[in-house]
Amino acid sequence: MSNITLKVNGSTHTLDVEPGTPLLYILRNDLGLQGPRFGCGLGQCGACTVIINGSAIRSCITPVSSVKAEITTLEAIAKGGKLHLLQQAWIDEQVPQCGFCQNGQIMTAKALLDKIPNPSDVQIREAMNGVLCRCMTFYRVQAAIKRGAKAISDARQSEKTKVTA
């Protein structure tokens, strides 16, 4: 065991854990987060996705000691009690069925839109292809990403207009 310091969702934590422990178990069992979830432990499904340095990362195969930058989980993408526009798009499209995979869908989509604000259908399919869903909500996930991209772009536009005015 050794002391590891993690910055998660704006807070810093120091924990005495085995350095090789996958980040997922620390987030869930030590920090009480429930956005990232165990799906395969192999980095194949996306259930455990968190965002680090702007990238969607599979926390189930990421040793906790290897993480140096801040970790953002699903719980923290809403700001000031207001849902992220992508989350709102998810509700508007009524995306989830069981919902177990949706952490991976939303976090991977957020990382995509942060890099490519208006992705093409092909870019969406490519970026999302490693995130599985066994209820098969893919059709609505893709619709929600497009809706979310538009909402984010509209919001930016109206911010600009406000600043100009």
Partner 1 sequence: MTPFNGIPREVEQDLEHLNVTPSRREFLRNAGMFAVTLSAVGAAGTFVPEAKAQAADPSATAGPYPDPDFRQVDSWIVIHQDDTATFYVGKTDCGQGTGTAFRQIMSDELDFPYDKTTCIMGSTDITVDQGGSGGSTAMERDSWPMRRVAAEARRVLLDMASTKLDVPVERLSVSDGVITVPGDASKRVTYGQLIGGKRFNVAVTGKNINVIAGVAAVKPVQALKNVGQSPRRYDIPAKVDGSLKWAVDVKLPGMVHARNVKPPFAGAKLISIDESSVRDMPGFVKVVSKGNYVAVVCEREEQAINAAKRLKANWEKPATAPFPSSEDLFKYMRGATPTSVSNPIVVGNPDAAFASAAKIIEADYDIPYQGHTAFSPAHALADPSNGLMTIYSNDMKSYGMRTGVATFLGMPRDKVRVIWMEGPQGFGRTAADDAGFEAAYIAKEIGRPVRIQWMRDEESAWDTKAPAFAVKARGGLDAAGNLVAYEYHARAADHNHVGYNEPDTVLIAQLMGARRDKPASGSSEVPAEMYAIPNRRMSRDVVSLPLVWESPVRTGNLRDPNGPQSTFAAESFIDELAFAAKADPVEFRMKLLTASTTEDTGFKRARSIAVVKAAAEAYGWDPRPSPKPVASGNIVTGRGFAYAYRGQTIAAQVAEVEVNRTTGHVWVKRLVCAHDCGLIINPEALRHTVECAMLHSLSRALHEEVQFNTEKVTSVDWVSHPSLRHADCPARIDVVLLNGDPNPNRPDLAPYGGGETACKPLMAAVANAIHDATGVRLRRVPFRDARVLAALNAARA
Question: Rounded distance, CA 46 to CA 28, Å?
Answer: 15
| Residues in 79-118 that interact with partner 1 by CB under 8 A | 81, 83, 87, 90-91, 94-103, 106
Phi and psi at 106, nearest 5°, equal -70, -45
Quickly list H helices, the chain.
Answer: 23-25, 85-92, 102-115, 121-128, 138-164
Choices 51-59, 112-120, 133-141, 156-164 (CB under 8 A): range interacting with partner 1: 133-141
Is there binding between residue 13 and partner 1 (CB under 8 A)?
no
Closest among 44, 11, 38, 10 to 23, alpha carbons compared: 38
Is there binding between residue 140 and partner 1 (CB under 8 A)?
yes
User: And the tokens for 60?
Assistant: 């189930």
Axis crossing angle, helix 138-164 with helix 85-92, rounded to the nearest 10? 130
Minimum distance between the CB of residue 51 and partner 1, rounded to whole angstroms?
13
Closest among 83, 137, 133 to 110, alpha carbons compared: 83
Is there binding between residue 129 and partner 1 (CB under 8 A)?
yes
Give the residue, chosen from 15, 44, 61, 153, that forms a contact with partner 1 under the rule CB under 8 A. Answer: 44
Is there binding between residue 159 and partner 1 (CB under 8 A)?
no
Give the residue, chosen from 4, 27, 52, 74, that forms a contact with partner 1 under the rule CB under 8 A. Answer: 74
**Contacts to partner 1 by CB under 8 A:** 1, 18, 21-22, 25, 28-29, 32-35, 37-42, 44-45, 47, 73-75, 78, 81, 83, 87, 90-91, 94-103, 106, 121, 124-126, 128-142
